Amino acid sequence: MSKSSRRYKAAAISKVSVLGRCDHVRMPRVRVLMLCLFGVLVIAMILGFYLANDTTSANIQVHVPDLTRDKLSHKPSKPTSAQIRRLVSQVNGQRLWYSHLRPILIERLPGTKGSQAVREHIISQLSLLSAGWSVEVDSFTSPTPHGQITFSNVLAVLDPSVPRRLLLACHYDSKALPVTPGALRRVFLGASDSAVPCAMILELVTALDVHLRVHKQQSSQVTLQLVFFDGEEAFEEWTPTDSLYGSRHLAELMSQTPHPPGSTHTTLLEAVDLFVLLGLIGAPDPLFVNHFDNTARWFDRLISAEKRLHKLGLLSSHPVEQSYFKKDVYLGPVEDDHMPFLQRGVPVLHVIATPLPSFWHTLEDTEDKMHAPTVENLTKILVVFLAEYLKL
């Protein structure tokens, strides 16, 4: 036996006596107690060090994002009926109408005071929420048939540092209708196009505020981004250069912004799991169809949410279980703010009523044509959709 092994043995014995037999050694009680405590502390430190190292290596493995693989393999959660009831009970139709919608129902042509007022309204509603949204105004100027105009998209991200994003969008600008010479100029309000969809988005994040706050604290791999586009409408005839001013600008900007920050091969555009665009919503008995095969499984979640809420008796003025979302019909594509994103390969879910309402782009697209129970029902369906996608 070598010297070193003897030393080891001696140390091992003293360790046993400290840990297990200290009550039998003849020492003053206080000293014994101190020795016991010291022993426990040493073991706790060794264990703590080991566990900390282990957790770090596990985190590194989990947190390396592969944006494309992760978005394709993303699975929704399966909320219970009790959870669904709790979630949709937060939707407040009165708040949607009077706090969110009414202030948007003014003329809001890009670059005007009306546009600024609506933008300020959207930002102030988001600032009231406890989830803590990062809000940005993305302003730029562009030539238009009416001269050089300043446009401003409103962007809000729940947690900008999260790798992936579910993007929920609408446009808040209103259309400049041609003025008939000699006729009185009346204001186009665009209630369904798209004041109601914007109000629905504000109500969605208000109803889910507490859930979104908790979600943000849980360091999830997917966060929620809102986009309120400016300049969707053409000033004259719809052409590739006279339309979609805000979305063309944002898609380009996102395609040039590295994400996660510092990435050399992915941008904010790849970070978008799914681009959900709401448009022309508000009239009674709307029909929504699936526009894209690659997002059909997410359209199916809307169908399923409608049926489930109907069966639970949580929708009003909704006589049959599948009324709004139908898969077996297709009425052709609708050009809208999703186009610049779709063309760059972003998966799109286009929630737009087709056929287009009879009052589309007329002075009749007003508040009195909107059907409050339908708007509230669709908001509840989207609450379920968001809760499933984000696993709230």
Judged by CB, which is closer to Zn ion: 305, or 348? 348
Regarding 388 and contact with Zn ion (CB under 5 A), the answer is no
The residue nearest Zn ion at its CB is 193
Least distance to Zn ion from the beta carbon of 162, Å?
Answer: 32
Judged by CB, which is closer to Zn ion: 244, or 302? 244
Cα three-residue angle 338-268-240, rounded to 5 degrees: 30
Judged by CB, which is closer to Zn ion: 144, or 223? 144
Least distance to Zn ion from the beta carbon of 171, Å?
Answer: 8
Kindly give, in sequence order, each residue whose CB lies less than 8 Å from that of residue 243, ignoring residues fewer than 6 positions away.
232, 233, 234, 335
Count, residues near Zn ion per rule CB under 5 A: 1
Judged by CB, which is closer to Zn ion: 159, or 233? 233
Least distance to Zn ion from the beta carbon of 272, Å?
Answer: 23
> What string marks each residue from 177 to 216 as x (binds Zn ion by CB under 5 A) or -?
----------------x-----------------------
Q: How many CA atoms lie within 13 A of 352 on its CB side?
A: 28
* Structural tokens at position 314: 């949580």
Rounded-to-integer distance, Cα 246 and Cα 257, Å: 16
Least distance to Zn ion from the beta carbon of 258, Å?
Answer: 34
Residue 37 parent element (H or E): helix 29-63
* Structural tokens at position 81: 């009926």
Rounded-to-integer distance, Cα 160 and Cα 201, Å: 19
The DSSP result for 41-59, as a single string, is HHHHHHHHHHHHHHHHHHH
Judged by CB, which is closer to Zn ion: 140, or 359? 359
Judged by CB, which is closer to Zn ion: 193, or 270? 193
Listed residue (331, 342, 318, 323) closest to 289, CA to CA: 331
- Give the residues lining the site for Zn ion (CB under 5 A): 193
